[in-house]
Amino acid sequence: MRLIIEKNPESVAVWTAQYIAKFINRQFENAPDKPFVLGLPTGGTPLETYKELIKLNKQGEISFKNVITFNMDEYVGLPEDHPESYHTFMWQNFFNHIDIQPENVNILDGNAPDLLKECQDYEDKIKAVGGIDLFLCGVGANGHLAFNEPFSSLASRTRLKTITHQTRIDNSRFFGGKLEDVPRNALTVGVATVTDARHLLVLAVGENKALAVKMGIEGAYSHTWTISAIQAHPKALVVCDEKAIQELSARAVDYFRDIEDRIKKDIW
């Protein structure tokens, strides 16, 4: 695991967007025709990173023409064009502003007539394109990855999940503070769907995420904090601002700062 500590949310976004751009460009240099498969989150945290990626796309430093995306999750029962659906979020905040081909965008359909089939088809599609090269993730305050709430199996795959009361409260800020409007269920990739990706990049900013970061990095590998699944991944990168690391022990911070000073700052 690597931990990158940046000063604030803005520098986290700049670092992450540049990293993703370098990563995608490097793969295209080695295999120009092979699509790059990118896993993506929603939420407040990745918004700034999307803005930076849009900037890099407009400056011609990165192209998404040969990028296939898979989003992590979607609410169940919320119309696709609802302002808070993850479909709307992704198109408004990212896809509408870059040169991605619409047929390369994959987002779970929370209104599919057969939700189980929808989940299985999603897993099959990820497999059919050769797996995910890089999964960009956020993390919930309770350590959830996608909608894999505490006590979700670390071996889970894409499926229907109940959203916990706490996460509904956290997400109610996007629904005008109305808890009753926040859906109770979601379709989500599983923890193992995420950790199957060849590379992981987890974003965490703000003191609200400090405990999740601590438990993810130095807590036990346990379903009580599903973020801790990244500990068993060979190429997991966590990018935080200073507030998000405030619960980490000095020992952990020293270790990660030390290895960042020694290794050439490059793509894994």
Query: According to the binding rule CB under 6 A, does residue 150 interact with ligand GLP?
Result: no
Planar angle of CA 167, 168, 169, nearest 5 degrees: 90
Quick one: 5 or 13, whose CB is closer to ligand GLP? 13
Please identify which residue in 62, 68, 90, 146 interacts with ligand GLP, judged by CB under 6 A: 146
Quick one: 67 or 139, whose CB is closer to ligand GLP? 139
Judged by CB under 6 A, the chain residues 175 through 204 that form the site for ligand GLP are none
At its nearest, how many Å lie between ligand GLP and the CB of residue 10? 15
Q: Where are the alpha helices (DSSP H) in the chain?
A: 9-30, 47-58, 86-93, 115-128, 165-171, 191-195, 210-218, 250-262
The count of chain residues that interact with ligand GLP, using the rule CB under 6 A, is 14
At its nearest, how many Å lie between ligand GLP and the CB of residue 177? 15
Token pair recorded at residue 204: 């965490």
Judged by CB under 6 A, the chain residues 22 through 81 that form the site for ligand GLP are 41-45, 72-73
Q: Residues 20, 201: contact at Cβ < 8 Å?
A: yes
Please identify which residue in 139, 194, 212, 236 interacts with ligand GLP, judged by CB under 6 A: 139
Judged by CB under 6 A, the chain residues 157 through 176 that form the site for ligand GLP are 167, 171
At its nearest, how many Å lie between ligand GLP and the CB of residue 66? 25
Residue 157 backbone dihedrals phi, psi, to 5 degrees? -120, 180
Measure Cα distances from 115 to 28, 120, 183, 187 in Å: 35, 9, 15, 8
Q: Residues 254, 31: contact at Cβ < 8 Å?
A: no
At its nearest, how many Å lie between ligand GLP and the CB of residue 141? 7
Among 120, 82, 87, which Cα is nearest to 102's? 87
Q: Characterize 92-105 residue by residue with b for buried, 16 or more Cβ atoms within 10 angstroms of its Cβ, and e for exposed.
A: eebbebbebeeebb
Quick one: 3 or 41, whose CB is closer to ligand GLP? 41
At its nearest, how many Å lie between ligand GLP and the CB of residue 41? 4
Quick one: 66 or 142, whose CB is closer to ligand GLP? 142
User: Where do contacts with ligand GLP occur on this chain (CB under 6 A)?
Assistant: 41-45, 72-73, 138-140, 146-147, 167, 171
